[in-house]
Amino acid sequence: MNTVAAALRELGHEVIPVDVDGALGRLVATLDNARADLVLNTAEGRAVRSGSTFYPTVFDGLGLPWVGSAPRASALASDRFACRAIAAQLGIATPRSWVASPGAVPEEIPLPAMVAARTRGLDAPAVRVDDRAALLARVDGHPGGAVASELIAGRDIAVPWLAGVGPDGGALGAIAQDRGEVDPAVAARLVAETRRIVTAIGIGDVARLDWRVTATGEAVFVGVTLLPSLAESGTLRTAAARHGLGTLARVLDALVRAACVRLGTDPEVRAEKTRARVGLVFNLKRVVPTMDGSVDAEAEFDSPKTINAIADAIRKQGHEVVLLEADRSLLTRITEAEVDLVFNISEGIRGRGREALVPAMLELLDIPYTGSDAATLAVTLDKALAKRLVREYGVPTAPFFVMTSVDQPLPPELSFPLIVKPVAEGSSKGVVATSVVHDDAALRAIVGDIVHRYNQGALVEGFLPGREFTIGMLGEARPRILPPMEIVFQAKAGPNPVYTFQHKQDMGDEVVYQVPAQVDEALYEDIVTLAKNAWEALGCRDVARIDVRLDAQGRACFIECNPLPGLTPDWSDLCMIAKAADMTYDGLIAEIMAPALRRFEDQVRERLI
């Protein structure tokens, strides 16, 4: 597919590759966020019965224009029995065919016969069977249904279809499988019959119609391939070259133009992309934290390197960037800057609701911004509040309690070992190797230190002894789930390891990051389901990172949600996860920003009404 993408870029198109493997929700979210003018689909399908109809149906449901045929035409063309029945109604010769399924194979099927899945595209080509046992075994291999047909001796000939190309409206001529000459009269007949079948089925921009021509010159229609190969040696490229389309780029250009004609759009005009004046709001890190965490006041703030990387990525999208530090003067300066929207990475300076301050101000000013809203940012910073919310939503989390003084008694549901951390800090501030405590004296010592140092309560949780993961998520109502990353603790991390502040400054030889995490299907579903439910329970949008750890029984439990994950290139967890998902840094920033751009565009439209 790299060659296809390169050819499209050669034609001047912006290309967004979309991997269809993985969860359907992720695919839908990716397509929804891509804002594509046109989808070029090369994927066959997911289900035995839906075949080539699957993705056109998804595109249609999302309101996305695509190259190819409509879902109904795709369904008819992909069904070997149905498309032959349509051809027969036109008076075109077809092989005698029977629908068969495991346990229901008609006795009258002549042998030898050809057997294939009823739906084209998801299996190997039709296979010859010479006896009843082989026929039954072959049909059993197609639980979604098979088509058995009489064996017709002859020569395989294809007629590629590319709408609008050539004197025959799209039929590019007859190409023999052996690449030998085809009798001109036979070729003319095949082209004419191909046009009739294309019209009857409603085939769209591209296809290949397959024929078998007997020794007496009879043309027998075999079936339709909706996604013919784009390889140089394929029949589509061979036939297109005879019409002056000798390169992949020229074939793709013809495909795009055919789709645009069908859709009634101008292939020379791209949908106008929003060019916005974007305020990048941040807190600048001026004091570098120490490894031991004794100096960590600005640990969550961003370095000039990170700020500049984000700004450059936004500029590469064609937007203007205004740098705005989130200090006391922000309200005045952002009003004067007249920005269209804000890319928000500000952590806030003080208070339990500090991460929500900039979003709340932007809502007051009616300025769209990236990331979750003020309510979500306020809740997620307070780890105890977040845990209460997700617990009410049915998301598993370790038992917990907030201690605001060393004198508070420990609830009976909590037993050692316990982990203790500040209730409203990020970047693992206050989480050190001694945060896991095994007795009451150690518990009260660390609680006293947290209350004194951070001027807030200490979150006391049951220690989860299992594996630890973090899951990056992008999007809105249907977020894209990025590959889970495991924080793999090494032997030097000790018997009860935790992901500490020191590890986030320098992982050293105590932790290794593994992404994608090596998990079985059941654990993957457990982790991803938890992340989706936590995202929904907390009201996240655009971007977040959900931290998960397994309990003693191997069950995934919610640790916390970070709706303002770090964006330091090649260092922050989310950036490493995105890279493993084949996303560039610029692509990650663009995907975070896409929903905010849509909100800005909606705001502009509303003001025009």
Q: pLDDT-based confidence at 511, cuts 50/70/90? A: confident
> Looking at residue 124, what DSSP letter applies?
P
Phi, psi of 189 (to 5 degrees): -65, -40
- pLDDT tens readout for residues 283-323: 998 877 766 666 666 678 889 999 999 999 999 888 999 99
pLDDT above 90 coverage of the chain, percent: 57
Quote the CA–CA distance of 218 and 27 in Å, as a whole number: 45
Are 513 and 369 in contact, with CB atoms under 8 Å apart? Answer: no
Q: Where are the domains of the chain?
A: 80-246, 277-369
How many CB atoms sit inside 10 A of residue 74's CB?
30
- Of 250, 156, 230, the C-alpha closest to 3 is 230
- pLDDT tens readout for residues 204-254: 999 999 999 999 999 999 999 888 889 898 999 999 999 999 999 999 999
CATH of the domain spanning 277-369:
3.40.50.20
Q: pLDDT-based confidence at 1, cuts 50/70/90? A: low
Looking at per-residue confidence, does 327 or 492 come out higher? 327
Are 389 and 376 in contact, with CB atoms under 8 Å apart? Answer: no
Strands of the sheet with 97-100, listed across from one edge: 97-100, 146-150, 113-117, 127-129
Going along 502-555, which residue ranges are E strands?
511-514, 542-550
Looking at per-residue confidence, does 66 or 386 come out higher? 386
What mean pLDDT is predicted for residues 418-442? 85
Q: pLDDT-based confidence at 268, cuts 50/70/90? A: low
Mean pLDDT of the chain: 87
- pLDDT tens readout for residues 315-359: 988 899 999 999 999 999 999 999 999 999 999 888 888 899 999
| CATH superfamily, region 80-246 | ATP-grasp fold, B domain (3.30.470.20)
pLDDT above 70 coverage of the chain, percent: 90
Q: pLDDT-based confidence at 122, cuts 50/70/90? A: very low
Q: Say if residue 272's pLDDT is above 70.
A: no
**Both ends of the chain: CA-CA distance in Å?**
43
Quote the CA–CA distance of 110 and 204 in Å, as a whole number: 35
CB-based contacts of 78: which residues, under 8 Å, 6+ apart? 51, 52, 53, 119, 120, 121, 224, 226
What mean pLDDT is predicted for residues 16-30? 69
**Lowest-pLDDT range of 16-30, 125-139, 341-355, 488-502:** 16-30
Quote the CA–CA distance of 92 and 77 in Å, as a whole number: 16
> Looking at residue 154, what DSSP letter applies?
S
What mean pLDDT is predicted for residues 9-31? 73
Q: How much of the chain is in helix, strand and coil states, percent to nearest 5?
A: 35, 20, 45
- Of 263, 304, 265, 305, the C-alpha closest to 284 is 304
Query: Alpha-carbon torsion 563, 517, 595, 597, what sign?
Result: positive
What mean pLDDT is predicted for residues 360-382? 95
Are 454 and 528 in contact, with CB atoms under 8 Å apart? Answer: no
> Residue 592: its pLDDT value, please?
93
What mean pLDDT is predicted for residues 583-593? 89
pTM (2 d.p.): 0.63
- pLDDT tens readout for residues 148-192: 999 999 999 999 999 989 887 889 999 998 888 999 999 999 999
- pLDDT tens readout for residues 60-78: 877 888 898 888 888 888 8
Are 122 and 55 in contact, with CB atoms under 8 Å apart? Answer: no
Phi, psi of 55 (to 5 degrees): -70, -40
> Residue 44: its pLDDT value, please?
66
Phi, psi of 343 (to 5 degrees): -95, 110
